[in-house]
Homo-oligomer: A and B are copies of this chain.
Amino acid sequence: MYNFNYYTPTKVVFGKDTELKVAELIKEFGGKKILIHYGGGSVIRSGLMKRVTDILDKENIEYIMLGGAVPNPHLGLVYEGIELCKKENVDFILAVGGGSAIDSAKAIGYGVTNGGDVWDFYDYKRKANACLPLGVILTIAATGSEMSDSSVITKEEGLVKRGYSSDYSRPKFAIMNPELTMTLPDYQTACGCTDIMMHTMERYFTNGGNMDLTDALAEGLLKTVKENAKILAKDPKNYDARAEVMWAGSLAHNGLTGCGNDGGDWMTHKLEHELGGLYDVAHGAGLAAIWGSWARYVYKNCLPRFKKFALNVMEVENAGTDEEIALKGIEAMEDFYREINMPTNLRELGVKATDEDLVLMAHKCAVGVGGEMGSARVLNEADMLAIFRASM
């Protein structure tokens, strides 16, 4: 195992009606002038935003609002948010929504507190020294951004999708009421479950430094999400299943399931980021569409982990060679994706890419990761292209 840091300062307030604590929490963390950042109109239509602003009004907390965060959130809106915060002397951002709202809130927070162009951070040019404090009211269980140090932004010019991670951006608090996720379309719920599992699977399939404890926690989390995703596919209003998935979403990406290893593989995410940049597909569905092809391409280089995954997470029978068991685990995972109506290739995802598109995505991906990357297997541009082609 390797040395590691573990830092999850976010105060989680979890359960029914917890959004009613928003003013108390903002005050606890010193917010005086708030930017409420959100996505589309669903948080307004559902009445959530009115409940929130009523409380802020009652508690005399000043706020301004900025909507419009979209999946694969755009840099243009981030710039707009930065200018708005500077003009209005905002000292705290409240993101109301899912990963899109939280991620662009983080980017706005970097932009307000660091000089220069905020894209520099996402373009690997420099590191942030601060971020505006931010809080979250989560309405979609998926990205884990509510406890994580990471955010992903898409630059419209060239559709470049990039992530940046820094402890400064970890939210001060995260309000998580599973009831707020009940009205999500089934497809988005399944995308969320996929994303959650992938955050832990990216940390699981590695060739270095794995710990028994981290593995046990990761396997427990993966099995829990798998079972509850199946429940939600049939019974979307099941509060307990919503709660299991929502809490798992935070723990899957706050660092817990990677302690002691080499940092994880992350190539499925990198490949999907190119898809997401070019086609604006749902992130979770993109991950599901890529994962099987990635897994079949790399599993022989990471056989003990794929075998362990097959036995302990997918619970396949312990019979046959290690390779056979590993392949059965990959197949079982794809069967699970089908069971929750997720795609297992680009066609099912609805992406009609030409081979030229695949070549372009592989090239952008290789440039984005600095040539080659991966832990289960180190992949170069040719490998990336081979995986994209296999996923058609």
Contact A220 B224 (CB under 8 A): no
Q: How many copies does the complex hold?
A: 2
Q: A5-B13, A11-B7, A247-B260 are in contact. Are A217 and B212 (CB under 8 A)?
A: no
Contact A220 B227 (CB under 8 A): no
Interface stretch of the complex, out of A14-22, A180-188, A361-369: A14-22
Contact flags A203-220 to B (C-beta < 8 A → 1, else 0): 000000001110011011
Contact B5 A14 (CB under 8 A): yes
Q: A224-B216, A248-B213 are in contact. Are A243 and B1 (CB under 8 A)?
A: yes
Top 5 A-B pairs, shortest CB-CB distance: A3-B15, A216-B220, A9-B9, A6-B12, A213-B224
Would you give the shortest CB distance from A140 to chain B, in whole angstroms? 18
Q: Chain B residues with Cβ under 8 A from A124's Cβ?
A: none
**Once bound together, how far apart are the Cα atoms of A370 and B95, in whole Å?**
43
Residue A289 interfacial (CB < 8 Å): no
CB interface residues, A 1-38, toward B, < 8 Å: 1-9, 11-18
- The number of chain A residues with a CB under 8 A from chain B is 38
Q: A212-B224, A221-B216, A228-B212 are in contact. Are A5 and B11 (CB under 8 A)?
A: yes
Find A243's partner among B11, B13, B260 (CB 8 Å cutoff).
Answer: B260
Find A4's partner among B15, B216, B228 (CB 8 Å cutoff).
Answer: B15
Residue A240 interfacial (CB < 8 Å): yes
Residue A259 interfacial (CB < 8 Å): yes
